[in-house]
Structure 1
Amino acid sequence: MTSIVLVHPEIPGNTGAVGRTCVALDMELVLIHPLGFVITDTRLKRSGLDYWQHIRLAEFASWEAFLAERAPREDQLFLFEEYAPRSFYEPVYPDDAYLVFGKETKGLPQPIVEAHHDRMVCLPMRSDKVRSLNLANTVAAAAYQAIRPSS
């Protein structure tokens, strides 16, 4: 099963919308603490609408705790950053991929980027007037690309 991993998300509405996408695509939502909100925040549940109870949710105290428990293979990890050298269209995503996204204001922590720099991908932008997309929009685009049947 493909998993969406949010590292230190800050905005409850984005996380709620990502959770709704996870339910729609039968994906797991993994949250890496610290979070910028409490999991009981009404804004989180409002964005996830009535779907929050259907989310397969896993929480970890830190990135290190996630790595220790899940022990993902390197080929399972796809880190999304606006400055990544390759497009998210290039990889072939395994069925058990982890699509990893950083917090809305700063992206992924530098130590994570440095440890997995060869696993970074970006959503290509056609305009130089936009630096990045909203987290929930980026996750949705990435999730659909990851489950796209190969031709």
Structure 2
Amino acid sequence: MTTIVLVQPEIPGNTGAVGRTCVALGMDLVLIHPLGFVISDTRLKRSGLDYWQHIQLAEFASWQAFLDERRPRGDQMFLFEEYAPRSFYEPDYPDDAYLVFGCETKGLPDQIVANHRESLVALPMLSDKVRSLNLANTVSAAAYQAMRGRFLR
């Protein structure tokens, strides 16, 4: 099963919308602490609507705790960063991929990027007037791209 991983998300509405996407596509959601909100935040629940109860959610105290428990293989990991050297269209995503996203204001922590350079991918943008896309929008685009082969079968 494909898993969406949000590292230190800050905005509850984005996380709620990502959770709804996870339910729609049958994906797990992993949240890496610290979070910029509490899970009971009404803004989170409002964005996730009445789907939040159906989210397959796991939380980890840190990135290292996530790595220690889940032990993802290198070929499973896809870390989304705006300046990544390859497009998210290039990889063949395995069914058990981990799609990893950083927080809204800072992206992924430098140490995570440094340790996983071979796993970096970016959503291409044609305009130089936009620095980045909204986290929930980016996750949706990436999730559907990763699932593309399953919709074509």
Instruction: State the TM bucket, normalised to the shorter chain.
Output: over 0.9
Task: Report the equivalent of 1:41.
Answer: 41
Task: Report the equivalent of 2:77.
Answer: 77
Letter in 1 for 2:73: R
Output the aligned Cα RMSD. Answer: 0.9
SS at match of 2:59: strand
Structure 1 residue 149: Cα displacement: 1.2
Task: Report the equivalent of 1:92.
Answer: 92
Letter in 2 for 1:117: R
- Give per-residue Cα distances to partners, 1:69-99, cap 9 Å, x unaligned: 0000000000000000100000000000000
SS at match of 1:59: strand
Structure 1 residue 146: Cα displacement: 0.1
Task: Report the equivalent of 2:119.
Answer: 119
Note the residue ranges of structure 2 that are not aligned, 5 or more in a row.
none
Partner Cα separation in structure 2 for residue 15 and residue 37 of structure 1: 10
Paired positions, count: 151
- Give per-residue Cα distances to partners, 1:19-43, cap 9 Å, x unaligned: 0000000000000000000010000
Partner Cα separation in structure 1 for residue 57 and residue 109 of structure 2: 22
Partner Cα separation in structure 2 for residue 75 and residue 100 of structure 1: 13
Runs of 4+ in 1 over 3 A off after TM superposition: none
% identical aligned pairs: 81
SS at match of 2:149: coil
Q: Give 1:2-151 correspondences, 5 Å limit.
A: 2-149=2-149
Letter in 1 for 2:115: A
SS at match of 1:79: strand
SS at match of 1:48: helix
Letter in 1 for 2:90: E
Partner Cα separation in structure 2 for residue 123 and residue 131 of structure 1: 11
Note the residue ranges of structure 1 that are not aligned, 5 or more in a row.
none
TM-score (norm 1): 0.99
Structure 1 residue 148: Cα displacement: 0.4
SS at match of 2:39: coil
